[in-house]
Structure 1
Amino acid sequence: MKTLILSATVSVAALSSLPASAQEFEISGYTGWQTAPHSRVSGDYPGTGASYDALIGWEGKSFEMPPYYGIRGTWWRSETFGLALELTHTKVYAPDDERKKLGFDRMEFTDGHNILTVNAMKRWPEYWGSATPYVGAGLGIAVPHVDVETTAGDKTYGYQLTGPAVKLLAGLSYPINDRFSVFGEYQFTYSSNEADLEGGGSLKTDIKTNALNFGVSLKF
């Protein structure tokens, strides 16, 4: 978690050092329906050195605690271009039958498979009347809360920096008044993850998520 905070601090400092020509700052919060397609999980079992490799059909469970959500701060440098710092708290669970067959009692990233990115944002003001379409693309890191336990009792529980991440999004924003707006968007994330397991084991997997988000933005 210290890595997450340090990365966020460095990213904010870098964005804030840009020329003071920004026309507005916008902070957005959202939740929504998030899913994750199948991906391969491989690595070494803790304590044994034996390897495992399987295809897992991840479950998102967006509205179960802790819920899926995201926060984005955008510096609009002009009417059409901006830079954003974004944290998306995605979630993935390995289904019971698949993880038990693989030899795990728990295998999930549910106190956040946290994706922290710096995004380039593009918008088209008043393209459809008062509605504003926008797109974004970002690069960053994955900092999941790794919650893994083998049937032998080896338990891993904590935040780890597991690898690089990519984000793509597209949406539509609609103003409520001069300061507040509501929005809906599609968001895709990809991360390449390599986690360390207690007892000398490892876990490697590429996680992809698809989400339909809805949220509120406040303009300063």
Structure 2
Amino acid sequence: MKTGRTSALIGLATAAALCAAPVAAQDLEFSLYSGWQTAPHSRVKGDYPGTGADFDALIGWDGKSFEMPPYYGIRGTWWRSENVGFGLEFTHTKVYAPDDEKAAIGFDDLEFTDGLNIVTANALYRWPNRWGSVTPYVGGGIGISVPHVDVDSTNGFETYELQYAGPAARLMAGASYDLTERVSVFGEYQFTYSSNDVDLEGEGSLQSDIKTNAVNFGVTLKF
């Protein structure tokens, strides 16, 4: 699997793609958000580096949203009508394996913390000014997971690189509030799912289907 770029570059590339689309004034929205992100347990399995032995464990991931690098997201939406929009979104989610659980299966580090990066193409539906200046919305998207793999085995093999890992999806529901004609703020719940199959140094491998839950707060600029 190819590597060599940071999650920040993925985010910038996503933003550049959003801004490159030829759209009419007031049709394009650019949103930036952060918040509190968690991840429930998921099973981790694969071939242990250097030995090829199987490992299989249920990991209770920590999100640590506000530790560096922080959890954040970038979303661009092109509203094709009053109600329906399409766009792209990049989210820098994070998951850390607890110390005792990763040690139990032979790892010193087991985390996706420079990003369990999710990139999706989205469709959204909104109800403009449903309650005065408040606009509720729902949406979803499908795309890919591009995590930064940070996995060190106790026998000395270290994997620290960006990889394409598999398909991903997201769902969201929230509401925005207009501060001005050009600026609004929003809050939302967001769920992501990613199927991750990554390579480890020492001819190892790791697979895990990871879900995240987040409460996001952000700002939107309208162009």
Please, what TM-score do these two structures have when normalized by structure 2?
Answer: 0.91
Give the 5 Å matches for 1:115-194: 115-194=118-197
Cα distance change on mapping 1:181 and 1:166 into 2, 3 Å: same
Cα distance change on mapping 1:99 and 1:133 into 2, 3 Å: same
Cα distance change on mapping 1:172 and 1:53 into 2, 3 Å: same
Q: Number of aligned residue pairs: give it.
A: 220
RMSD: 2.5
Query: Structure 1 stretch 141-150 or stretch 16-25: which is displaced more?
Result: 16-25
Q: Partner of 2:206 in structure 1?
A: 203
Given candidates 35, 51, 55, the residue that maps to 1:52 is 55
Given candidates 76, 80, 95, the residue that maps to 2:98 is 95
Shift of 1:73: 0.7
Given candidates 28, 34, 37, the residue that maps to 1:34 is 37
Shift of 1:178: 1.0
Kindly provide the amino acid, as one letter, of the partner of residue 169 in structure 1.
Answer: M
Cα distance change on mapping 1:184 and 1:15 into 2, 3 Å: closer
Q: Is there any run of 5+ residues in structure 2 with no aligned partner, and where?
A: none
8 A contact 1:90–1:113 mirrored in 2? yes
SS of 1:98's equivalent? helix
Please, what TM-score do these two structures have when normalized by structure 1?
Answer: 0.92
In 1: Cα distance, 2:58 partner to 2:189 partner:
26
Query: Structure 1 stretch 130-139 or stretch 16-25: which is displaced more?
Result: 16-25
SS of 1:193's equivalent? strand
1:110 corresponds to 2:113? yes
Shift of 1:24: 1.0
Q: Is there any run of 5+ residues in structure 1 with no aligned partner, and where?
A: none
Q: Partner of 1:61 in structure 2?
A: 64
8 A contact 1:145–1:158 mirrored in 2? yes
Shift of 1:130: 1.0
Cα distance change on mapping 1:13 and 1:206 into 2, 3 Å: same
Give the share of equivalent positions with the same residue, in percent.
68
Shift of 1:3: 11
SS of 1:100's equivalent? helix
1:86 corresponds to 2:86? no
Kindly provide the amino acid, as one letter, of the partner of residue 149 in structure 2.
Answer: V
8 A contact 1:23–1:77 mirrored in 2? no
In 1: Cα distance, 2:161 partner to 2:219 partner:
31
Shift of 1:109: 0.2
In 1: Cα distance, 2:123 partner to 2:50 partner:
44
**Cα distance per residue 1:169-205 (max 9 Å; x no partner):** 0010001111110000000000000000001000000
In 1: Cα distance, 2:147 partner to 2:80 partner:
31
In 2: Cα distance, 1:156 partner to 1:110 partner:
13
Cα distance change on mapping 1:13 and 1:173 into 2, 3 Å: closer
